[in-house]
Amino acid sequence: MLKFYRSLLISEFLRRSTMTADITALRDAANRLRISAIEMTAVAKSGHPSSSTSAAEIISVLFFHEMKYEVSAPKAAYSDRFILSKGHACPILYAAWEEAGLLSHEQVLSLRKIDSDIEGHPTPRLNFIDVATGSLGQGLSVAAGMAWVGKYKDKASYRVYALLGDGETAEGSIWEAASFASTYKLDNLVTIVDVNRLGQSQETQLGHNVETYAARFKAFGHNAIIVDGHDVEAIIKAFDTAKITKGVPTTLIMKTFKGAGIDGVENLDNWHGKPVPLEKIDGIKKKLTSLQKGVLPIAAPIKDTPEFDLDLGNIKISPPSYKLGDKVATRAAYGTALAKLGDASPHVIGLDGDTKNSTFSDKLLAKYPERFIECFIAEQNLVGVGIGVGCRGRAIPFCSTFAAFFTRAADQLRMAAISFANVKCVGSHAGISIGEDGPSQMALEDLSLFRSVANSIVLYPTDAVSTERAAELAANIHGIVFIRTGRPALPVIYKNDEIFSIGKAKVVRKSNKDCVVLVGAGVTLYECLKAADELETSGVHACVVDLFSIKPIDQHTLIAEATRCGGKVVTVEDHYQSGGIGEAVSSALSDSPNIRVRSIFVKDIPRSGSPDGLLDLFGISATHIVKAVQNFN
Amino acid sequence: MLKFYRSLLISEFLRRSTMTADITALRDAANRLRISAIEMTAVAKSGHPSSSTSAAEIISVLFFHEMKYEVSAPKAAYSDRFILSKGHACPILYAAWEEAGLLSHEQVLSLRKIDSDIEGHPTPRLNFIDVATGSLGQGLSVAAGMAWVGKYKDKASYRVYALLGDGETAEGSIWEAASFASTYKLDNLVTIVDVNRLGQSQETQLGHNVETYAARFKAFGHNAIIVDGHDVEAIIKAFDTAKITKGVPTTLIMKTFKGAGIDGVENLDNWHGKPVPLEKIDGIKKKLTSLQKGVLPIAAPIKDTPEFDLDLGNIKISPPSYKLGDKVATRAAYGTALAKLGDASPHVIGLDGDTKNSTFSDKLLAKYPERFIECFIAEQNLVGVGIGVGCRGRAIPFCSTFAAFFTRAADQLRMAAISFANVKCVGSHAGISIGEDGPSQMALEDLSLFRSVANSIVLYPTDAVSTERAAELAANIHGIVFIRTGRPALPVIYKNDEIFSIGKAKVVRKSNKDCVVLVGAGVTLYECLKAADELETSGVHACVVDLFSIKPIDQHTLIAEATRCGGKVVTVEDHYQSGGIGEAVSSALSDSPNIRVRSIFVKDIPRSGSPDGLLDLFGISATHIVKAVQNFN
């Protein structure tokens, strides 16, 4: 009986919602968005009108009926969020913000010009964009990260909407995110798929087979609803259904036509990314513009989101407490640091990809289960959710997995840079020193990967003390930070009060007889120290530098020590040559005449074996360092 | 009526298949595999017995009832293929080859030792492994690539079996591959999911919810069957059903228990990757070993696979036919070269990710549609299928997409190196010179990515002639080759008979008055030439080097020219600093005293704009090169 009344109430709610909407005004608005998108791409002579106009009704309903936000403060913490995962359709998004009054027509007509932030794909240079999109398949993970924060951390009523293209659902990252959203019951997240049938170069895999899209999302735990994506009333009803759907995320499968509303383009192939000739605009305007121009109220947001500052720069962990010589794996020290960061700030969130008992991020989970997100074996989504968690200044996300598996998220990290994201990645099991598991588990390209991310910071702590400080430094700076941790337990070499800084190396061994500089980090620093001991027995004195900050690199210390020691530098790394420490150091010293650099690195594809055996077999042990110094004439 | 007889025939076939199998023998064999897997990991003191034993019955039925192969020639072209996507369970695979007689017990007990190819995760160092696994979620793409070759190129009867873990189905790449397999109706592919419920650090997202696994694979177009994964008869029947299922791939959802057969381990958490103590082995043997030891015949393969040699080294394209000064984009020249390679060898296969009209791989499609695979917007699977297509010497795969989007497949490329794969990747739309589309579409980390792949070759042709030759060079060498192509149409600078080699740069401008070397490639080579012209007007003569082969790098030419020109080198690249041309050159010259390198690169996150405007704004145009030379004292 209760069930009956509930369904009565729901249907009444749905009826009223449609009644209160001015359907005609929303239809007209959709056409105005359409015209603007066509015009701005025509003026720019490039861009995506056809992918824009298929979503005109969806965007019209979203921005002028469904979403609650303030035009004057598009990034307000309490506003509903919109992520355009199909970023190439941004003209329709720019048109919506024009219609809402945030952008002028002149501004949207500056599309794709070098001095305009109205770019070819959206970036957070614009005040209404949270994350850059344009590499397809990434928006849903980010949206899910935002929705997780909304539901579990902010516990606020703002909702998150992600608009996907149909073609991009071929990206596996979409299914990682879809599964995540249902696992975490993100009923504040609405996924919208613009099924316009046509990809860039041909029809998509599923064409207009909306039933299969629905079946896929249903199987992934979503409430999937098929909707006519050009029918304003149907779209409104679908969003209303989403709103009353509890415990599962809703996905709206919108059947649309690419180029909808443009004669000679609509539903035809070969119109991807091609503007309509400028001279056709008048005809299109005539056809699409209605005399009736409705009023388009924008729903006010509910201001129930807590206000706070992340207080970056002031998050202090309790000092490390190790004894010199204690054997502690840096991955274990990272776990300790993460739990301490949890003590220090209520905004630190840990994320992992089912490796938490290896990366030791489970130390945060044990202490603050509500601030830990298990992302399972899906690293693209792990990083994507992390970006979403961090993108609005509402949390400090620390993502961890084996360093090797962050390569899975290389494109997400590339896009994170364009998003000016705040996300920390901590990769364990670096290099051949992991031993028996073999090459598939060994990160030997991770320094290269993270160094190549624009404006990133890359830290490679050697011992437990420096690892704790690396984590603290990462938490306190806005940006993308990678920390590389290792598997083996190795001695603590720094005192607990040692100070570490981004961009600063440590000279850990020095004498006034030094005639060579050995540069290492992590496991190879110990090999450098061993080599220095051995060299000393034959009267050769070596300075040893712990690089610590791989990016930015401490060019000053490197030049100073190299010059002091006669210009000979030997770098040693548990990493391949390309993009690693040797190249970073060589590059930093490339303009210094009379400084020569020789680099030792993992020289071939490794194999299973004992850590020490592998260090020796692949050429990065103390023995090889000694030889390199002896041969350096 | 026909339908009735067909179903009668099918049920009779299924009945007979089960009857002919010696169920007891297969059960006993499963236990022998189990014991061996437990023993080898106990001896190694590391490894994955629990993930192995859940699959004991599956492997027993596969190797001793279902698959057709020759133990004496495990990689024979006509043999059925098996890919262990859950690579960490390799002990059970090694045990199967021991049972089959290929490996001795002594060999399997060398698991994870430095001098043994019985590694912690399988690699093709072993003669029964086609591709390395161990980074989860990658095996199905590779298997699908093999199955595509079997069905459409070889047109042979061998079948492909991929065993997946349940946890790894969280990886989106699995769903990219699943969709691909149904799109291409790969009914010669059987996916097996070992649903043992437990991941590394906790229960998986779906636990033992086998219905949801089945629903997901069904929605992705598979014939999904739920099976008791420890019931030998049920497994046999399921494989038989797969065999008679036409037009769609079959997926068997096997409900199993992690650690099955091991008391105190079976179906319990916290036993991932942990060996059983050696002293328990005798008890386990006693419990699991049956007195009955059946005969285990191995089915003989059908030898209907064509025999041929790829003839690497002898594939010759018709010479380029351009006029000096003709404006041709290198991406367009790549399309031309790919079609010519199609003429030159029937084994060249093109693959693309719905960008074929931008990368120009559609020129091969137009000429040889049967040798082109559209992989849609799913780059992990694009590269994974490419690896599968190439891994058995039966085809030469050329994968193309925007260079930026290969970052999506960074982990697949990392694993490709460990697989000693033969796969060519051609990335278009390199750098900021693409212009208006903006940063999300600009590859600025691709050289770094591909250089960091072990043993890779990276070519960056500047004009149409060198692009055609780069593609020809790539086709003729076994290995991972990346070719970077550009969007803008730029002048042909080489004569059609110019010879290019891997590892060789070209000195394109030289005089005996040169006092600086400018190193560029692609769009920046033209800027170097412009800069050299401008510098000459003020009496400064510059040597210009076209690097062409970024890896291996032509250290010899660089040192020779730098030395000749007084030790000053300026590198210029349409790429970020890290892992790019500047670092590669600096590293190559780091041991040469008196040679100094200054590098110009894209110095910040770019934006939309005109190509020329962007080259200037982000610091890599001729103007900036001139300034760099003028300031180089």
Q: Report the C-alpha gap between B217 and A212 in whole angstroms.
A: 12
Final residue belonging to a domain, choices B469, B492, B515: B492
Cα→Cα distances B154→B107, B347, B588, Å: 34, 10, 44
Helix (H) or strand (E) holding B225, with range, is strand B223-228
The β-bridge partners of A517 are A543, A569
The confidence score (pLDDT) of residue B19 equals: 60
- Best mutation target among B84, B203, B354 (most A Cβ atoms within 10 Å) is B354
Question: Tens digits of per-residue pLDDT, A55-95?
Answer: 999 999 999 999 999 999 999 999 999 999 999 999 999 99
Question: Tens digits of per-residue pLDDT, B47-66?
Answer: 999 999 999 999 999 999 99
**Chain B residue numbers touching A407 (CB-CB < 8 A):** 410-411, 414
DSSP state, A624? H
**Chain B residue numbers touching A449 (CB-CB < 8 A):** 410, 448-449, 452
List the one residue out of A583, A464, A577, A558 whose CA is nearest residue A503.
Answer: A558
Regarding whether A205 and A155 lie in a shared domain, the answer is yes
Regarding whether B356 and B209 lie in a shared domain, the answer is no
CATH assignment at residue A155: 3.40.50.970
pTM (two decimals): 0.97
Single-letter amino acid code for the residue at B424: K
Final residue belonging to a domain, choices A259, A287, A315: A287
3-state secondary structure of A109: coil
* Sheet containing B480-484, strands listed edge to edge, beginning at the edge strand earlier in sequence: B372-374, B348-352, B396-402, B423-428, B480-484, B457-459, B549-551
Q: Report the C-alpha gap between B106 and A45 in whole angstroms.
A: 69
pLDDT band at A486 (very low <50, low <70, confident <90, very high): very high
Helix (H) or strand (E) holding A473, with range, is helix A464-476
Given the residues A379, A445, A468, A472, select the one marked as catalytic: A379
Final residue belonging to a domain, choices B260, B287, B314: B287
The confidence score (pLDDT) of residue A17 equals: 62
Q: Give the 3-state secondary structure of A505-550.
A: CEEEECCCCCCEEEEECCHHHHHHHHHHHHHHHCCCCEEEEECCEE
Regarding whether A132 and A48 lie in a shared domain, the answer is yes
Q: Report the C-alpha gap between B542 and B535 in whole angstroms.
A: 7
Residue A585 in tokens: 């150091």
List, by residue number, the catalytic residues of B.
Answer: 379
Instruction: Identify whether A296 is part of a domain.
Output: no
Nearest CA in chain A to B134: A440
Helix (H) or strand (E) holding B427, with range, is strand B423-428
Question: Tens digits of per-residue pLDDT, A98-109?
Answer: 999 999 999 999
The confidence score (pLDDT) of residue A543 equals: 98
Residue B152 in tokens: 């459409």
Regarding whether B333 and B241 lie in a shared domain, the answer is no
The confidence score (pLDDT) of residue A7 equals: 59
Helix (H) or strand (E) holding B335, with range, is helix B330-344
CATH assignment at residue B611: 3.40.50.920
Cis amide prior to B552 (ω within 30 degrees): yes
Regarding whether B510 and B486 lie in a shared domain, the answer is no
Regarding whether A393 and A267 lie in a shared domain, the answer is no
Nearest CA in chain B to A570: B591
The confidence score (pLDDT) of residue B1 equals: 47
- Residues A341 and A315 sit within 8 Å (Cβ to Cβ): yes
Q: Give the one of B112, B417, B438 whose C-beta lies nearest to A119's C-beta.
A: B438
Cis amide prior to B275 (ω within 30 degrees): no
Instruction: Identify whether A373 is part of a domain.
Output: yes
The confidence score (pLDDT) of residue B294 equals: 63
Q: Give the one of B119, B172, B374 whose C-beta lies nearest to A608's C-beta.
A: B119
pLDDT for residue A51 is more than 50:
yes
Q: Give the one of A171, A354, A578 whose C-beta lies nearest to B452's C-beta.
A: A578
Strands B542-546 and B516-520: parallel
From B291's Cα to the closest Cα of chain A, the distance in A is: 35
Nearest CA in chain B to A116: B608
CA atoms within 13 A on the CB side of B275: 22
The segments of chain B whose pLDDT lies below 70 read: 1-20, 291-295
Average pLDDT over residues A586-594: 96
- Residues A107 and A116 sit within 8 Å (Cβ to Cβ): yes
Q: Give the one of A172, A374, A597 whose C-beta lies nearest to B172's C-beta.
A: A172
Nearest CA in chain B to A135: B440
* Sheet containing B516-520, strands listed edge to edge, beginning at the edge strand earlier in sequence: B506-509, B542-546, B516-520, B568-572, B596-600
Q: Report the C-alpha gap between B448 and B413 in whole angstroms.
A: 13
Regarding whether B546 and B480 lie in a shared domain, the answer is no
- Best mutation target among A447, A575, A590 (most B Cβ atoms within 10 Å) is A590
CB A445 to CB B437 under 8 A?
A: no
Residue A546 in tokens: 């712990």
Cα→Cα distances B326→B158, B323, B330, B464, Å: 49, 5, 12, 9
Regarding whether A401 and A340 lie in a shared domain, the answer is yes
Instruction: Identify whether A566 is part of a domain.
Output: yes
Instruction: Identify whether B365 is part of a domain.
Output: yes
Q: Give the 3-state secondary structure of A81-107.
A: EEEECCHHHHHHHHHHHHHCCCCCHHH
Regarding whether B161 and B245 lie in a shared domain, the answer is yes
Mean pLDDT of the residues in chain A: 96
Q: Give the one of A379, A596, A609 whose C-beta lies nearest to B593's C-beta.
A: A596
Regarding whether A473 and A519 lie in a shared domain, the answer is no
DSSP labels for B469-538? HHHHHHHHSSSEEEEE--SSEEE--S-TT----TT--EEEE--TT--EEEEE-THHHHHHHHHHHHHHHT
Q: How many domains does chain A have?
A: 3
Regarding whether A352 and A280 lie in a shared domain, the answer is no
pLDDT band at A21 (very low <50, low <70, confident <90, very high): confident
**Chain A residue numbers touching B597 (CB-CB < 8 A):** 587, 590-591
Regarding whether A276 and A243 lie in a shared domain, the answer is yes
3-state secondary structure of B252: strand
Single-letter amino acid code for the residue at B13: F
**Chain A residue numbers touching B119 (CB-CB < 8 A):** 438-439, 607-608
Helix spans in A220-329 (H): 232-243, 281-288
Instruction: Identify whether B297 is part of a domain.
Output: no
CB A376 to CB B204 under 8 A?
A: yes
Instruction: Identify whether B273 is part of a domain.
Output: yes
3-state secondary structure of B125: coil
Question: Tens digits of per-residue pLDDT, A207-264?
Answer: 999 999 999 999 999 999 999 999 999 999 999 999 999 999 999 999 999 999 999 9
Q: Report the C-alpha gap between A320 and A498 in whole angstroms.
A: 10
Helix (H) or strand (E) holding A572, with range, is strand A568-572
The confidence score (pLDDT) of residue B290 equals: 79
Instruction: Identify whether A139 is part of a domain.
Output: yes
Burial group, residue B631, by CB count within 10 angstroms (0-12, 13-18, 19+): exposed
Domain extent at residue B480: 326-492
Q: Report the C-alpha gap between A47 and B435 in whole angstroms.
A: 12
The confidence score (pLDDT) of residue A355 equals: 98
Q: Report the C-alpha gap between A348 and A424 in whole angstroms.
A: 10
From A283's Cα to the closest Cα of chain B, the distance in A is: 27
Nearest CA in chain B to A118: B608
Q: Give the 3-state secondary structure of A137-180.
A: CCHHHHHHHHHHHHHHHCCCCCCEEEEEECHHHHCHHHHHHHHH
Instruction: Identify whether A308 is part of a domain.
Output: no
